[in-house]
Amino acid sequence: MSYIAPIDETKFWLNEVLDAKRLFSISNFNGFKEEDLNLILGEAAKITSESIYPLNQKSDKIPANLENGICRTTPGFKDAYELLVQGGWTGISGSQKYGGMGLPSTVTSCFNEYFGSACLSFSLLFLMSQGQIDALENHASEHIKNIFLPKLNSGEWTGTMNLTEPQAGSDVGALTTKAEKNNDGSYSITGQKIYISWGEHDLSSNICHLVLARLPDSPKGSKGVSLFIVPKFIQNEEDEWLLENNVKAISLEKKMGMHGSPTAVIEYRQSQGWLVGEENAGLHAMFTMMNNARLGVGVEGLSQCELATQKALEFAKTRKQGYAKIDNGKGVILDHPDVRRMLITMKSLTVAVRALCLDAALSLDLSKSNDKQVATRENVRASFLIPIAKAFSTDIGCRVADIGIQVHGGMGYVEETGAAQVLRDVRVTAIYEGTNGIQAIDLIGRKLSDSGKAANCLIDEIKKTVSECYDNADQQIKDMGKRLSRSLECLEISLAWMLKQKDINERLAGATPFLKAFGMILGANYLVKAAIKAGSPDRTSLAQFYCLNILPEMEAYGAMSKGGKDSLYDFSDKFFGFS
């Protein structure tokens, strides 16, 4: 099959529903206009559909391979990388001051969706560099910026993020990688990091690692962690970046999916690096990259929703099996009610997460407004939406990919169709950049620490949609407003319960269902708003399907979120196999 980037769908959400023209008033994007957006989307669609998508199944069958310290990537990646570099896509959101294109995160998210659908393994390389560029722009010294950012933006160099260690996992404060200050102001880094996406490859002339490490007299835990940029190659006596820096990929992980993306174990032995930000403030700097990456990973989930849906629709429109008793049938499995239910479920969930990711990206961009009131409001809004966008979108990515296999039937379980690859590839996105459970913990912890103000602002937005439904002449839309209102009452009860708990474990026990409940109702809100704005039968029917078939799950998640800790801890040790 072919992949077709959904440009019209992107434009509809940006222009008709999310009011993306607000971007044009932000000074950071001075001169950026709607015609520029259309041109960029068109070019991104063309290059990803024509030049990148043909590499997707090849990357699954011919994975990256490490031999004698050299990582060979999937055949075709090198040529495609050069094509993307020539187009300036590597520095799409980087500051123009350092050679980037300076485009909004909203536009970058559109590009990342198309790129991810075309080849998720390959697109991850660009996501890592985007995050590193953002972290350096916000936290590095001007000297570091001038050295690294032009080369990262140009694609001459690429970037990674090094957090995880074998003994530490998600507990970054437990890391043991050491940093010692040198006489010249640089640092020597020694330790081992695991799960480093694109930690070694043959596409760029240098690989720059953002590494978390601990100085000798630093406090224990996360408060004693510093961030360093450590390139694979440093300058030799002729100031050429060709001298090996004792940064070695000692192995590549054998993974369930994402085979084309080399995930390395990296060893540092007195490797030279430079401090990014302040000593012992590494997590503050790293979280800039993490926040960027979390939205990017949410978009990865979206990208696989779109790919799985396109594959399933194409198969269902051509596969003849059985006979459905309907008028004007096409004689294919798309006629069957259950197959149609699956396909519309895939379509509606894909639309919901696209709206969620673009909405979060838009708020992130608007937080750069010169109007302090707007900037503060949108920053709080983006911060609340991002853990939902990351977790909900990737959970839905897994769900939609799984349904896609079911639509294919037996052929979905056969590698030839590529349906199985989508599920294997997307599954890791629910783990990347903080597992979805960690996103839920963040949501009910830090994001509710304002006594629910940010949450209630989003609830007020949904209430506005409900009011618009009641004022609408279309009875279908009025009915959707009633269903949305009922679900909203359930969410408000769950939110009030969360805020009332004194014991954090009571909240934590229901954190994941609470996040899912929020994601579900946000999805309904977006689809209903689209139905009101568009006034088209298909938009209304899609929103109605979501409200009837998917939104009821939200009320179940709302009830589950209030289950409390006793339902988890009221078991004996014997139940878990302890003697």
- Enter the tokens of residue 383: 């911060």
Report whether 137 contacts 94 (CB < 8 A): yes
Cα–Cα distance measured from residue 250 to residue 408, given in angstroms and rounded to the nearest whole number:
40
Residue whose entry in the numeric block shows the structure tokens 């689809």: 527
Tokens of 49: 């559909």
Indicate the burial class of 190 (C-beta count within 10 angstroms; 0-12, 13-18, 19 or more).
middle
**Distance separating alpha carbons of residues 18 and 115, to the nearest angstrom:** 22
CA distance 316 to 417: 13
| Positions marked active-site | 433
Residue 239 to residues 188, 233, 235, Cα–Cα distance (Å): 19, 11, 5
What own/partner pairs with CB < 8 Å and gap ≥ 24 does 320-324 have?
A: 321/409
The full length of the chain comes to 579
| Residue 418, helix vs strand vs coil | coil
Distance CA 527, CA 347 (A): 11
CA distance 226 to 183: 18
Place of tokens 């896509």: 89
What's the first-to-final CA gap in the chain, in angstroms? 54
